[in-house]
Amino acid sequence: MKRDAIGKILVQQDDLQHRVGELAQEISNDYKGEEVFLVAILKGAMFFIADLMRQLQIPAQVDFMSVASYGAATGSSGVVRILKDLDSSIEDRRVLIVEDIVDSGLTVNYLLRSLQARNPASLDVCTLLNKIERRQVELPMRYVGFEIPNKFVIGYGLDLDQYYRQLPYIAELKDQEK
Ligand code: IMP
């Protein structure tokens, strides 16, 4: 495996697993007696959704969307396009968007607008990581795993040019100036 970009570990494997368990518990309590329709955003949320969903104690379905933002590899332009849409309707479903990281917020902002137009019964966001310093739009975020500083991070699904997703922890990139 490529190792040259791996910097300081920001969230250890055990802490990830522990926090994902807490989020699953919180979601299970909040949706008690109901069902949740998880919309996982590929590819970054792949491990998060797998770990989160396995710990939910309520009936749950999952579907996947893949979106891309035009722009540089480590930035976000705000122009989002759908590469893969949901397979099924979310009308009258209680929908929870499951994201790896919210950075500028432009991607989730776009997803919220796009999914809201399909008339779900409810629509909320669960993100593993939140880079609040970089936020450009105000967003309602119901579940947040970890607040992280303004650093580019890799691992547990998050990539640098499609590499490093397999790391079991979240690490900073090596030699980041800020
Ligand atoms: P936003 O639209 O700026 O909120 O960016 C969201 C998307 O950018 C995420 O779903 C990630 O795919 C990507 N992204 C943002 N920050 C990072 C990071 O630190 N590491 C890896 N991907 C990131």
Q: Above 90 in pLDDT, residue 62?
A: yes
Tell me the pLDDT of the chain averaged across its residues: 93
Nearest alpha carbon, ligand 1 atom 5: 103
Confidence of residue 177 (pLDDT cuts 50, 70, 90): low
Check if 92 is active-site. no
Q: Above 70 in pLDDT, residue 72?
A: no
Confidence of residue 178 (pLDDT cuts 50, 70, 90): very low
Query: Active-site residue among 92, 103, 161, 175?
Result: 103
**What's the gap in Å between 34 CA and the centre of ligand 1?**
31
Please report the DSSP string for 64-119 in residue order. Answer: EEEEEESS-TT---S-EEEEE--SS--TT-EEEEEEEEESSSHHHHHHHHHHHTT-
What's the one-letter identity of residue 140? P
Confidence of residue 76 (pLDDT cuts 50, 70, 90): low
Mutate which of 69, 76, 99 to test ligand 1's pocket (most atoms within 8 Å of Cβ)?
A: 76
* Confidence (pLDDT) at 79: 74
Pocket lining for ligand 1, CB < 6 angstroms: 44, 69, 76, 99-107, 152-153, 158
pLDDT, mean of residues 136-149? 95
Which residue has 């929870």 as its token pair? 96
